[in-house]
Amino acid sequence: MRVLVTGASGFVGRSLHSALSLRKNEIVVTTRTAQSEQNAASNSIVVSNIGATTNWSSALSGADAVVHLAARVHVMRDTAIDPLTEFRCVNTNGTLNLARQAAAAGVRRFVFLSTIGVNGNATTLGNLVSETDTPRPHDPYSISKHEAEIGLRAIAASAEMEVVIIRPTLVHGAHAPGNFGKLKGVVARGIPLPLASINNRRSLVGIDNLVDLIVTCLEHPAAANETFLVSDGEDLSTPSLIRRMARAMNRPARLLPLPEKALMAIATMLGSRDAAQRLCGSLQVDTSKVRALLEWSPPVSLDEGLSRAVK
């Protein structure tokens, strides 16, 4: 199978490239810069900017499937005058432009990596969100991804191309960017964290499990035109996550008790309320659909995934 992978030089893209290579797929990758050692075995095409007018004809030539990972992701201290417009340019308009060209080129299946943010940014403890829940995108990033999902479903309804949408939870793994990478660094340095009193639950997904599902969605007949939530299948409180990370690093977990209200008040004064909410709040997903429809289960346990992530 000839597969076009966008964003192949990113965190998920690198792992997906390796997995597809092991399955002897012919891979075409797009990157922002010239060909690197990582994708030297693939047909590499430079696409510096993704938007409504990007020409994908060379990358799509002969492609059987597309995995679209490239996106404008969360930007810390975003200086854009209108952040939503910037996110839409790449994540909505750029995605739909690629999908329309893919459908016209005869691509059989289009796998889109969306975000759990489409379901919202929090759940009450013990309540799980699912694919059938009303979408609640909460920031420019998740809004742009949700709008791309809507457009992709419309394209699938009017073309021969099948669309699969995956909404991952927080992805952990070696070299993971964002919040997990920051937390890993803090735990590794033994910095005390005032999180011992937090009672929450969050769903996570290891990079190997996410990539395994992406590959499954490329090939499984029942995945056509479906949306899936994915996690490792075990939800952790933030203190439990830190303890397990520390154990995998053979380091002590330095957790201090502080009431959640006090922690949130301090974080608000410091301008870090959103970060504190992610550490204190719950976000749990129901993965029964992907398990039943695709007969898929995470091949790597959460503890093994965390061990791989920190080592």
pLDDT (tens, 9 = 90+) of the chain, 311 residues, equals 899 999 988 899 999 999 998 887 889 998 776 655 444 545 888 887 899 999 999 999 999 999 999 999 866 556 667 889 999 999 999 999 999 999 999 999 999 999 999 999 989 888 899 999 999 998 999 999 999 999 999 999 999 999 999 999 999 998 888 888 888 999 999 999 999 999 999 999 999 999 999 999 999 999 999 999 999 999 999 999 999 999 999 999 999 999 888 888 888 887 777 778 888 899 999 999 999 999 999 999 999 999 999 87
Strand partners, 27: 3
Catalytic residues: 141
Q: Measured between alpha carbons, how far is 13 from 21 in angstroms, rounded to an integer?
A: 12
Residue from 287, 197, 179, 277 nearest 240 by CA: 197
Provide the H-helix boundaries in 175-284: 178-188, 207-219, 238-249, 260-269, 273-280
pLDDT, position 42: 59
pTM of the model: 0.92
Mode of pairing for the β-strands spanning 65-68 and 162-168: unpaired
- Buried/exposed code over 245-280 (b: 16+ C-beta within 10 A; e: otherwise): bbebbeeebbbeeeebeebbeebeeeeeeeebebbb
- A 10 A CB-CB count for 23 gives 12
Q: Measured between alpha carbons, how far is 28 from 62 in angstroms, rounded to an integer?
A: 10
- A 10 A CB-CB count for 111 gives 24
Q: Which helix (H) or strand (E) element contains residue 307?
A: helix 302-310
Are the C-beta atoms of residues 1 and 26 closer than 8 Å to each other? yes
Q: Measured between alpha carbons, how far is 248 from 250 in angstroms, rounded to an integer?
A: 6
Residue from 115, 157, 151, 154 nearest 136 by CA: 115
pLDDT, position 35: 55
Determine the 3-state secondary structure of 12 from DSSP: helix
Token pair 């952790």 is found at: 236
Are the C-beta atoms of residues 152 and 117 closer than 8 Å to each other? no
Q: Measured between alpha carbons, how far is 197 from 203 in angstroms, rounded to an integer?
A: 19
Q: Which helix (H) or strand (E) element contains residue 45?
A: strand 43-46
- A 10 A CB-CB count for 126 gives 9
